[in-house]
């Protein structure tokens, strides 16, 4: 974590491994079994043509995740995949004075991280990969400069704490699993439709069609269950990483504007706590009111 000097000024940022970055390995471990199973399906036709060993095939796919952390890949591939784009001239004019003090207080060159804008009516921002910070267009329009600085300091804290590393690896491993799950559900729908349309006159063919559809559904759910488990674990870990990123933002000196931005979010969108266990598992962030209370407690401790 950051500390302040004897005059109350924040010290320079240092990238160090937060506890939530370590626990974020759990969602990756959860998705590995279904990832290997899905990759086996993709490897089999490749093996018939090129005789590539499965371990090499799996190792090559895993090693290619390094590409997600390269700055050019994040600019030209990852950001567009997320629906984000480069800031317009007006958005850059609003972001630059808010981003500059965050970089200056941490002694970080501006070229190290990439700012992108997600067209959205939500008040939101997130960090991704190793260099990408995404802000919604509404956040740029609605937040004053100091509050926008607080939000950007929070997102930079995710990068400084290595919170995004395991998340990016987990998402990369999920791609073949998600593809096969979607293909399975598509084929199940095709089998069901074909059975209804062409085999309704034959009970034997109808039974075969329904059996095939049921098997495809079961296989799809096998892949999907691994993703659901991984996502639930990622949500639990992610909520802790939000608290740690808030703590870093406070130590940088941006705790008060961050708390003000969170209050603005509560006023505009609400900040109710999840009531049921399903809502708690699905929640990617802790309640905004809880975050504000913790930030204020940290600010009182600093004083």
Residues above pLDDT 70, as percent of the chain: 79
| Pair of tokens at residue 117 | 């804008």
Q: Average pLDDT, stretch 261-289?
A: 74
Q: Average pLDDT, stretch 64-78?
A: 86
Q: Which residues contact 27 (CB under 8 A, 6 or more apart)?
A: 166, 167, 170, 230, 231, 233, 234, 237
For residue 101, what pLDDT is reported? 96
- Residue 277 CB-density burial (10 A; 0-12 exposed, 13-18 middle, 19+ buried): exposed
| Pair of tokens at residue 73 | 């890949």
Contact by Cβ (8 Å): 170, 34 = no
Contact by Cβ (8 Å): 303, 250 = no
Helix, strand, coil % in the chain, rounded to nearest 5: 75, 5, 20
Q: Which residues contact 64 (CB under 8 A, 6 or more apart)?
A: 172
Q: CA 112, CA 132: separation in Å to the nearest integer?
A: 9
Q: CA 225, CA 34: separation in Å to the nearest integer?
A: 9
For residue 4, what pLDDT is reported? 45
Please determine, for residue 214, whether its predicted confidence score (pLDDT) is greater than 80: no
Q: Average pLDDT, stretch 226-241?
A: 84
Please determine, for residue 264, whether its predicted confidence score (pLDDT) is greater than 90: yes
Element (H, E) at 227: helix 203-252
What average pLDDT does the chain have?
Answer: 84
pLDDT digits (tens, 9 = 90+) for 221-232: 777 787 788 888
- Give 216 or 246, the one with higher predicted confidence: 246
pLDDT digits (tens, 9 = 90+) for 95-125: 999 999 999 999 999 889 999 999 999 999 9
| Pair of tokens at residue 198 | 């062409």
Supply the angle between the helices 288-302 and 203-252 in degrees, to the nearest 10. 20
Bin 15: left if φ > 0, else alpha if -120 < ψ < 50, else beta.
beta
Q: Where are the domains of the chain?
A: 19-302
Please determine, for residue 42, whether its predicted confidence score (pLDDT) is greater than 70: yes
pLDDT digits (tens, 9 = 90+) for 152-197: 999 999 999 999 998 889 889 988 988 887 877 776 666 666 666 6
Element (H, E) at 265: helix 255-269
For residue 9, what pLDDT is reported? 46
């Amino acid at each position: 974590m950051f500390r302040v000097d004897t005059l109350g000024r924040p010290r320079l940022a240092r990238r160090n491994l937060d506890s939530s970055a370590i626990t974020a390995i759990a969602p990756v471990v959860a998705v590995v079994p279904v990832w290997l199973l899905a990759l086996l399906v993709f490897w089999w036709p490749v093996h018939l043509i090129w005789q590539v060993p499965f371990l090499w095939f799996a190792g090559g796919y895993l090693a290619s995740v390094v590409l997600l952390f390269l700055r050019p890949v994040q600019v030209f591939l990852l950001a567009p995949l997320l629906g984000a784009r480069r800031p317009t001239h007006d958005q850059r004019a609003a972001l630059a004075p808010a981003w500059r003090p965050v970089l200056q207080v941490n002694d970080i060159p501006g070229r190290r991280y990439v700012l992108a804008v997600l067209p959205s009516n939500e008040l939101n921002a997130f960090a991704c990969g190793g260099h990408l910070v995404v802000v919604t267009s509404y956040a740029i329009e609605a937040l004053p400069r100091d509050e926008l600085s607080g939000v950007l300091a929070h997102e930079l804290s995710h990068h400084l704490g290595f919170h995004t590393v395991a998340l990016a690896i987990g998402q990369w491993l999920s791609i073949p699993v998600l593809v096969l799950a979607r293909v399975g559900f598509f084929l199940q729908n095709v089998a069901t439709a074909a059975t209804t349309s062409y085999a309704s006159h034959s009970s034997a063919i109808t039974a075969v069609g329904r059996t095939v559809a049921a098997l495809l559904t079961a296989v799809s759910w096998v892949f999907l269950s691994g993703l659901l488990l991984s996502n639930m674990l990622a949500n639990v870990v992610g909520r802790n990483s939000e608290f740690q990123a808030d703590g870093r933002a406070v130590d940088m000196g941006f705790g008060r504007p961050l708390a003000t931005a969170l209050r603005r979010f509560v006023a505009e969108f609400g900040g109710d706590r999840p009531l049921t266990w399903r809502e708690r598992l699905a929640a990617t962030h802790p309640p905004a009111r809880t975050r504000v209370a913790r930030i204020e407690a940290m600010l009182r401790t600093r004083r």
